[in-house]
Chains A and B, each alone.
Chain A
């Protein structure tokens, strides 16, 4: 098992090197001149040149690349010009914010989508099936920023039930000491219930927004794969042997239907993590997606490179975890390099 994981990680190295080279070249190929941008509105040509020199952008590309990889090897992702902070520290602070939101959204989504999919598959053509179809279609057809804005409008602006969409905590609550970076956990560790409640209530609307969006693929996949499994021979045999319907569905059918669902989950998770930019924008969430987009807008190379690299590493790790999970769920699947 361990050698297997080691082997898998070894295979990931060439792709990571590829990612480093490609992001470096791509960011350099972007139109726009960071020196001119950061020299400010009132800059003369000389001022722009001075800034260029300070940023090291006057050096040949190959030298810039070696300097960049050398810094990377020392764990230095460079400095962001838009926020003025080291990229590594920013990603470390922002990744948990995105991860907490995405995980919570995913959990809400799974709790609703999987039972919905299972029920729909066991009673095809019934009202549950139709409900599943309509909910999922509606979920994917509504763009996330729209759902987010509607939720803010209704639950914050109109009804006043939800707190102001001001990020992870309300203004007068201070952040708990960082242990995991997940406020829900950190506030509990610090036994600060006030902050816990604040963090939770801030999370509800954005997590719901994400959940509505990710319902569709999970519920559809659960339904489809359950339908296939329920039609298979071992289920018929189980039924014929007089096992109770719940045993048949939960123990035999569901476990076998889970593999494609897990694959979908991993895809949805990694997709949401990078793509919930719009939700982050709507809820002023200090996450990693909005960070990357802002950096891109101002041709700020370092954060973009850092973001892509982090995402690549996350994908590699996520795939590894999924593959291990496969083996646990279905012993027939062998984890091989």
Chain B
């Protein structure tokens, strides 16, 4: 038996098996259906169709965004590379025809012709019920509402059938933007109340399985873990009628297959592919690949400042000089990220976030700082990362490990399973780790409030506490609410500078959202939530 004969026999066998599939006819009805249907393939799918549900995952947000309306939404502007990008500071009505912002409240007039998917009109009572629901159900939605000082049902007042007023608890610049995120979506209150029970007064079990909104799409079929099918709502009034009639969203766990589906032209859009694939697809030019930076997002190396050796700022600075920034950009991110390091020494701090720090890979300086801190012989520690994002985290940590070894810091890599990562973060015991944080609301003080403030939220992963930092963050928040630009600018520059001198976390880069699509797909828009907005997409 020769090797060649063997190969022949095996491939002959497989070919024989595949033959019956070959004559795959494409009927004309099939072709029509294709031209109005968008086929999306991604790794994971929703576990709940309602963002107010318990533990709704990120793909679930995409369904909510497209199937429910909010009172207001953001206008678009031209972003990096001419791609439409949501305008942080400009709002337009979605269900609201007009809105008026007063000193301590905002009043919305609803569009009178707005209807839910079942034909019931959208009224002020639905709005109040939905907002009450968002601040009452607990968990993530309630937390997100509180970020804009929206915490009490009494804040939402029905004036008449088509007018609602939202009262402010205090002056907060984030209240209006917070009404335009995914959470304050308007739900068909009569329909849901009918399907609620005593144990489940907000009808979460009902909206978990079906959409009850007024949005541009409605879910017609959902097979968890397999597919979601959405049909256009022909009576949508939130904006111009979308071009795509039907969206089929299939879960394809294997990244290689998602790429094959795209390159063969079978799938229209995919995301969540390895950076290397995106870079290659960009280079060969057969597909449109859009890459845009995460707004308000940073991948960083964090250090636990409560325990030696990282309680010593000199050690932290030494680490900041010892990181292989450029290597990470090239070998891990394949250039698909904005560098957050190596700003010129004379560059003035800007009133912006994120912005690069001034550290660069400089082993001599790192060594000197470490000696100064009393660790001339180095030390041993562990570096932890979240296995859910192993594709980026693992090579990144290996590079960091190699680089730190050069200044005598011996690290062991600790891979934490995804299910366990948040528990570990909450314990705040990991000495050295890499993580990514990105805020929906794109304001420096928002980021700093969660990541650096002494109230020690989950995201202050370094347990960093500094009275001066807290003062500057509070100062910026107060100044923003009062419209005091001079103080605001001073405080923002102040906390950025402090964060970079004290350097409890070392920014590496601002990651990109990458989306690959067929050449005939246009209209992609970047949103703060980084999921797809089907309403603007066009095929053909």
On A, residues with C-beta under 8 Å from B are 30-34, 36-45, 47-48, 50-51, 54-55, 80-85, 90, 93, 108, 112, 127, 130-131, 134-135, 138, 149, 151-157, 160-167, 171-172, 200-201, 204-205, 207-208, 212, 281-284, 286, 290-291, 294, 297-299
Question: Does any Cβ of A come within 8 Å of B100's Cβ?
Answer: no
Inter-chain contact B250/A161, CB cutoff 8 Å: no
Q: Are the C-beta atoms of B18 and A286 separated by less than 8 Å?
A: no
Known: A40-B55, A48-B426, A208-B14. A166 touches B261 (CB 8 A): yes
Cβ of A50 to closest chain B Cβ, rounded Å: 4
Q: Which chain B residues (19-63) contact chain A, with CB distance < 8 Å?
A: 19-22, 24, 30, 33-34, 37, 39, 41, 46-48, 53-57
Across the interface, do A44 and B9 meet the contact criterion of CB distance under 8 Å? no
Point out the residues of chain B lying under 8 angstroms from A47, CB to CB: 138-140, 142-143
Partner of B18, one of A51, A82, A161: A161
B423 in contact with A33 (CB, 8 Å): yes
How far does the Cβ of B467 sit from chain A's closest Cβ, in whole Å? 22
Asked whether any CB of chain A lies closer than 8 Å to the CB of B120, the reply is no
Whether A36 touches B426, Cβ cut-off 8 Å, given contacts A43-B143, A204-B17, is yes
Inter-chain contact B225/A291, CB cutoff 8 Å: yes
CA distance A47 to B146 in the complex (A): 12
How many Å lie between the Cα of A51 and that of B204 in the bound state?
Answer: 14
14 contacts between A and B (CB under 8 A): A40-B56, A50-B138, A50-B139, A51-B55, A83-B47, A84-B47, A130-B1, A134-B1, A152-B256, A152-B260, A153-B260, A165-B260, A204-B18, A281-B253
Query: Do A39 and B20 have beta carbons less than 8 Å apart?
Result: no
Task: State A84–B57 Cα separation when bound (angstroms).
Answer: 10
**Docked pose: A160 CA to B20 CA in angstroms:** 13
Cβ-defined contact, B33 with A38, below 8 A: no
Chain B residues lying within 8 Å of A134, measured Cβ to Cβ, are: 1, 6
Number of interface residues of B (CB under 8 A): 66
Partner of A165, one of B53, B223, B225, B257: B257
Contact B419 A34 (CB under 8 A): yes
Q: Is B167 an interface residue when CB atoms closer than 8 A count as contact? A: no
Nearest 5 CB-CB pairings of A with B: A38-B55, A32-B419, A201-B21, A83-B224, A130-B1
A40 touches B224 (CB 8 A): no
Whether a CB of chain A sits under 8 angstroms from the CB of B417 is: yes
With an 8 A cutoff between CB atoms, is B281 at the interface?
A: no
Q: In the complex, which residues of chain B have a beta carbon less than 8 angstroms from the beta carbon of A153? A: 260
Residues of B within 8 Å of A155, CB to CB, are: 14-15, 18
Write out the residue numbers on chain B whose beta carbons fall within 8 Å of the beta carbon of A172: 30, 33-34, 37
User: Is the CB–CB distance between A37 and B422 below 8 Å?
Assistant: yes
Interface centre among B257, B261, B263 (most CB of A within 10 A): B257
B10 at the interface (CB under 8 A from A): yes
Q: Please name the residue on chain B nearest to A126 by beta carbon.
A: B1
| Interfacial chain A residues near B139, Cβ < 8 Å | 39-40, 43, 47, 50-51
Distance of B52 from chain A, by nearest CB (Å): 12
Q: Are A44 and B457 in contact (CB under 8 A)?
A: yes
Contact B6 A138 (CB under 8 A): yes
- Contact between chains at B419 and A297 (CB < 8 Å): yes
Interface residues of B in 90-122 (CB under 8 A from A): none
Say whether B226 faces chain A, with CB atoms less than 8 Å apart: yes
User: Which residues in A have their C-beta under 8 angstroms from that of B138?
Assistant: 47, 50
Who on chain B is nearest to A89 by CB? Answer: B224
B336, CB-defined interface residue at 8 Å: no
